């Protein structure tokens, strides 16, 4: 087994850290089979799973592990032995029962401070087991904590904020739900009113607070881009409440509108996993609201709940159907499982009816609601104000999210005909091509970036500082009009290849002379607190005046242009194309999503849904094999973990 691990590593099937863990455990006295299982747990961690689900492993080896990986070469397939054959050849782990018995007897499993923890049929690295237990214990404490609420007063405040409606207002329900406990989830797709709700939720919390001083409210998001968008959206929505007399006084007290990244909120300690704010040094906050919570991994949420005071409210916002975090865990997806149906307890329905202008729908009632503890604190929004579920982008996103392939198959086959005969579908298109440098793809890209090129060629209206800054602002705004999104990073259909291809199409040989040239859009790939730049920030390389060195223009959170020398930017990518993962929290007027030529486990309905819903007005799908789209829609992200176990 150890020899097999070495071969897998040499052929790129697994990481060095996976092999190293197995070797270290053998040195601690672990059997070869236990060390091998630890390596598989580490492999799963690299795929985003906090644990190795042994039950799933023994019932479906290939799908559970993704070994051999999709990029395995023919040579490696001949040399490397598959996991299933290895396990079947060893009597100690040939069956699930034998494997569990072997692990239970191991000195490195379920012992004080042992590196591995076996919980039922799930095998964890201890750190990730501790993360999961910390989150579960903390959320349970916040959910059961009694928070006294004057329902009559709450109803009057909600009446002022939301007015009377003919049917149930889920935004109002979310505000009411948040008042009765110290943990709340608000989930829904793009344009369903999450920002609209959170501002009114903040006003409700401040209006009904029992303390004399205003609540200390902190706003945070996983990435710099998401934090900036959260700040912008909330600041814009705050202005809509100024005219409401009943809450004008709390607005005057200054609701927090500046969001920060979670890393900045907690205070990173250089060269460690620790944060300045923790259980011994908690955050100074009464309410913490985290946007884009689908991107929060299990380690980060464990750090957040450790640092959040016991009396504080934790409110998670996000789209449960979007991609899960890049790191391990699928927190929001697991906590919100079943949210479409409500599954509310009778006593919760009764309480909500006291605060609502309309009675809760019957279908949300579940007499067996104890099976859904997190849903008693969750509100899901269904109706999008941005997209019509029967038209264009909204229809496409809905069909993908519901994994309904009949309409999708027709659209993939007849998109041009549908667009020509049905005006409601004239903003969603399919461009099928077997070559990534196809002339039709090139024409689409050149047309999409033509307004950007015109702005670059035109230059500033005048050479004053204000004129140059306005020119840079216009270019940065134009970058949000057209965007290529790729499903993968590598390969001929990946992000890197498309960036090289588009750069050459637009700039020719100039781009080959050196990496920095005027007009190059760049994305920051890691937070840089010295430069006050965040992961996901977009800039553009410009020459402010003839003879001056090139500089990169970024917008700061206040909307002002700041200029940075290229030599100070060490972790950036060209941004003509970005991965769908990197696009989360962004919107583009015309989004072009590029599918790879071969199938891969990363292609899921969550990936497609996320890419489609980045588009505001137009969406184009580039694919070489339409059947891969159908395969992707039928595949869901399923990450292992015991977060929702009783």
DSSP string, 72-116: --HHHHHHSPPHHHHHHT-GGGSSHHHHHHHHHT-TTBSSTT-SE
Q: Is the residue at 612 inside a domain?
A: yes
The pTM (predicted TM-score) of the whole model is 0.84
CA 156/CA 178 separation, integer angstroms: 16
Q: Is position 467 annotated in a ligand binding site?
A: no
Average pLDDT, stretch 276-286? 92
Q: Is the residue at 525 inside a domain?
A: no
Give the CA distances from residue 133 to residues 187, 343, 417, in Å, rounded to whole numbers and listed in that order.
23, 24, 54
Check if the beta carbon of residue 294 is closer than 8 Å to that of residue 226: no
Q: Is the residue at 600 inside a domain?
A: yes
Chain-centre distance of CA 407, in angstroms? 27
Per the structure, how many domains does the chain have? 3
What SS3 state is found at 56? helix
Radius of gyration of the chain (CA): 26
pLDDT the model gives residue 511: 60
Query: Which of these, 317, 316, 182, 163, lies nearest to 243 by C-alpha position?
Result: 163
Residues 580, 503 share a domain:
yes
Count CA atoms within 13 Å of residue 101 on its CB side: 8
Q: Which residue has the higher pLDDT, 249 or 411?
A: 411
What is the distance in angstroms between the CA of the first residue and the CA of the last residue of the chain?
A: 35
Average pLDDT, stretch 439-458? 93
pLDDT digits (tens, 9 = 90+) for 59-73: 877 778 878 877 778
Check if the beta carbon of residue 64 is closer than 8 Å to that of residue 57: yes
pLDDT the model gives residue 498: 94
For the chain, the residue count is: 646
Query: Residue 170: enclosing H or E segment and its boundaries?
Result: helix 170-179
Of the residues 381, 406, 440, which one is the last residue of a structural domain? Answer: 381
> Residue 596 CB: number of other CB atoms within 10 A?
22
Q: Is the pLDDT of residue 105 over 70?
A: yes
Residues 162, 106 share a domain:
no
CATH number, domain containing residue 371: 3.40.50.300
Q: Which of 196-200, 245-249, 578-582 has the lowest mean pLDDT?
A: 245-249
Residues 160, 31 share a domain:
no
Q: Is the pLDDT of residue 257 over 80?
A: no
Chain-centre distance of CA 605, in angstroms? 14
Q: Give just the sign of the alpha carbon dihedral 326, 332, 335, 340.
A: negative
Beta bridge partners of 571: none
Q: Is the residue at 546 inside a domain?
A: no
Average pLDDT, stretch 311-337? 86
**DSSP letters along 348-386, please?**
HHHHHHHH-SSPPPGGGB-TTGGG-TGGGGEEEE---SS
Backbone angles phi, psi at 387, to 5 degrees: -120, 140
Q: Is position 191 annotated in a ligand binding site?
A: yes
Spell out the residues 6+ positions from residue 575 whose beta carbon is closer than 8 angstroms to its own.
479, 499, 521, 522, 523, 538
Q: Is position 459 annotated in a ligand binding site?
A: no
CA 621/CA 431 separation, integer angstroms: 6
Q: pLDDT above 70 covers what percent of the chain? A: 95
Of the residues 69, 102, 133, which one is the last residue of a structural domain? Answer: 133
The DSSP secondary-structure symbol of 360 reads P
pLDDT confidence tier of residue 87, bands split at 50, 70 and 90: confident
Q: Which of 166-180, 231-245, 609-623 has the lowest mean pLDDT?
A: 231-245
pLDDT the model gives residue 252: 46
CA 167/CA 145 separation, integer angstroms: 31
Residues 439, 334 share a domain:
no
pLDDT the model gives residue 499: 93
CA 102/CA 541 separation, integer angstroms: 59
pLDDT digits (tens, 9 = 90+) for 498-528: 999 999 999 887 666 567 888 899 998 887 7
Of the residues 99, 133, 167, which one is the last residue of a structural domain? Answer: 133
Q: Is the pLDDT of residue 553 over 90?
A: yes
CA 171/CA 186 separation, integer angstroms: 9
Q: Is 175 exposed, middle or buried (0-12, 13-18, 19+ CB in 10 A)?
A: buried
Spell out the residues 6+ positions from residue 166 whose beta carbon is closer than 8 angstroms to its own.
358
CA 554/CA 340 separation, integer angstroms: 40
CA 153/CA 208 separation, integer angstroms: 8
CA 621/CA 432 separation, integer angstroms: 8
Average pLDDT, stretch 179-194? 88
What SS3 state is found at 344? strand
> Residue 525 CB: number of other CB atoms within 10 A?
16
Q: Is the residue at 225 inside a domain?
A: no
Which range of 224-228, 505-509, 558-562, 627-631 scores highest in mean pLDDT? It is: 627-631
Q: Give just the sign of the alpha carbon dihedral 515, 517, 520, 526.
A: positive
Q: Which of 122-136, 411-425, 502-516 has the lowest mean pLDDT?
A: 502-516
> Residue 248 CB: number of other CB atoms within 10 A?
12
Q: Is position 268 annotated in a ligand binding site?
A: no
Q: Is 579 exposed, middle or buried (0-12, 13-18, 19+ CB in 10 A)?
A: buried
Q: Is the residue at 202 inside a domain?
A: yes
Q: Is position 320 annotated in a ligand binding site?
A: no
Q: Which of 138-147, 244-253, 261-270 has the lowest mean pLDDT?
A: 244-253
Residues 414, 321 share a domain:
no
Give the CA distances from residue 139 to residues 132, 133, 312, 318, in Å, rounded to whole numbers and listed in that order.
11, 10, 12, 17
Q: Is the pLDDT of residue 245 over 60?
A: no
What SS3 state is found at 419? helix
CA 518/CA 505 separation, integer angstroms: 15
pLDDT the model gives residue 307: 95
CATH number, domain containing residue 81: 1.10.10.1020
Check if the beta carbon of residue 102 is closer than 8 Å to that of residue 27: no
3-state secondary structure 476-539: HHHCCCEEEEECCCCCCCCHHHHHHHHHHHHHCCHHHHCCCCCCCEEEECCCECCCCECCCCEE
Q: Is the residue at 539 inside a domain?
A: no
Residues 50, 173 share a domain:
no
Question: Rounded to the nearest 5 degrees, what angle is found at the Cα of 290, between the Cα atoms of 312 and 255?
Answer: 70
Residues 469, 418 share a domain:
yes
> Residue 565 CB: number of other CB atoms within 10 A?
11
Q: Is position 282 annotated in a ligand binding site?
A: no
The DSSP secondary-structure symbol of 312 reads S
Residues 163, 121 share a domain:
no
Q: Is position 192 annotated in a ligand binding site?
A: yes
Residues 204, 319 share a domain:
yes
Q: Give just the sign of the alpha carbon dihedral 364, 368, 371, 376.
A: positive
CA 134/CA 140 separation, integer angstroms: 10
Residues 31, 98 share a domain:
yes
Q: Is the pLDDT of residue 384 over 50?
A: yes
Residues 484, 407 share a domain:
yes
Check if the beta carbon of residue 252 is closer than 8 Å to that of residue 259: no
Q: Is position 120 annotated in a ligand binding site?
A: no
Average pLDDT, stretch 158-183? 86
Residues 99, 168 share a domain:
no
Check if the beta carbon of residue 488 is closer than 8 Å to that of residue 600: yes
Give the CA distances from residue 516 to residues 526, 551, 565, 574, in Å, rounded to whole numbers and listed in that order.
19, 9, 11, 10
Q: Is the residue at 541 inside a domain?
A: no
Average confidence score pLDDT of the chain? 86
Q: Tell me which residue range forms the domain holding 289.
A: 145-212+244-258+285-381
């Amino acid at each position: 087994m150890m020899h097999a691990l070495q071969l897998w590593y040499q052929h790129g099937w697994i990481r060095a850290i996976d092999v190293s863990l197995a070797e270290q455990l053998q040195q601690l006295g672990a059997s070869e089979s236990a060390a091998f299982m630890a390596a598989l747990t580490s492999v799963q961690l690299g795929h985003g799973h906090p644990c190795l689900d042994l039950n799933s492993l023994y019932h479906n080896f290939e799908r559970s592990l993704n070994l051999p990986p999709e990029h395995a070469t023919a040579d490696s397939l001949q040399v490397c032995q598959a996991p299933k054959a290895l396990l079947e050849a060893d009597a100690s782990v040939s069956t699930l029962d034998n494997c569990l018995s072997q692990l239970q007897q191991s000195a490195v499993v379920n012992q004080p401070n042992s590196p591995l923890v076996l919980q039922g049929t799930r095998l964890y690295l201890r750190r990730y087991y501790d993360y999961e237990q910390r989150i579960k214990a903390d959320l349970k404490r916040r959910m059961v904590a009694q928070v006294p609420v004057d329902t009559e007063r709450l109803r009057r405040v909600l009446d002022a904020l939301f007015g009377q409606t003919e049917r149930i207002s889920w935004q109002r329900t979310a505000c009411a739900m948040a008042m009765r406990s110290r943990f709340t989830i608000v989930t829904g797709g793009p344009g369903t009113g999450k920002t609209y709700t959170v501002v009114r939720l903040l006003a409700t919390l401040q209006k009904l607070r029992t303390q004399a001083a205003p609540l200390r409210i902190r706003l945070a998001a996983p990435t710099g881009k998401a934090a900036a968008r959260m700040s912008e959206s909330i600041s814009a929505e705050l202005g809509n409440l100024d005219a409401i007399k009943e809450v004008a006084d709390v607005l005057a007290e200054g609701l927090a509108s500046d969001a920060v990244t979670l890393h900045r909120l907690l205070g990173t300690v250089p060269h460690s996993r620790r944060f300045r704010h923790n259980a011994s040094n908690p955050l100074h906050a009464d309410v913490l609201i985290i946007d884009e919570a689908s991107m929060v991994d299990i380690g980060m949420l464990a750090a957040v709940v450790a640092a959040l005071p016991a009396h504080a409210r934790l409110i998670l916002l996000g789209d449960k159907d979007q991609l899960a975090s890049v790191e391990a865990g699928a927190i929001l997806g697991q906590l919100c499982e079943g949210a479409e149906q409500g599954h509310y307890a009778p006593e919760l329905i009764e309480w909500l009816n006291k605060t609502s202008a309309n009675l809760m729908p019957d279908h949300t009632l579940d007499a067996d609601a104890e099976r859904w503890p997190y849903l008693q604190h969750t509100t899901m929004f269904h109706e999008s104000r941005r997209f019509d579920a029967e038209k264009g982008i909204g229809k496409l996103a809905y069909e993908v999210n519901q994994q309904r392939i009949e309409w999708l198959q027709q659209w993939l086959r007849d998109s041009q005909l549908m667009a020509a005969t049905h005006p409601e579908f004239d903003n969603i298109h399919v461009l099928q091509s077997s070559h990534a440098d196809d002339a039709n793809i090139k024409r689409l890209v050149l047309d999409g970036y033509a307004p950007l090129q015109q702005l670059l060629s035109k230059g500033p209206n005048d050479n004053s500082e204000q004129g140059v800054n306005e020119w840079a602002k216009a270019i940065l705004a134009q970058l949000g009009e057209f965007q290529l999104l790729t499903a993968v990073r590598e390969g001929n259909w990946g992000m890197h290849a498309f960036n090289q291809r588009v750069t050459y199409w637009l700039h020719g040989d100039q781009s080959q002379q050196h990496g920095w040239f005027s007009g190059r859009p760049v994305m920051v790939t890691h937070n840089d607190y010295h430069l006050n730049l965040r992961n996901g920030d977009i800039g553009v390389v410009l020459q402010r005046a003839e003879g001056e060195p090139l500089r990169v223009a970024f917008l700061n959170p206040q909307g002002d242009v700041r200029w940075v020398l290229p030599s100070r930017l060490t972790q950036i990518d060209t941004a003509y194309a970005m991965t769908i993962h990197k696009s989360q929290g962004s919107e583009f007027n015309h989004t072009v999503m590029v599918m790879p030529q071969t199938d891969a486990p990363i292609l899921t309905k969550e990936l497609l849904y996320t890419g489609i819903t980045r588009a505001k007005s137009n969406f184009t799908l580039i694919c070489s094999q339409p059947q891969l789209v159908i395969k992707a829609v039928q595949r869901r992200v399923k990450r292992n973990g015991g977060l929702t176990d009783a």
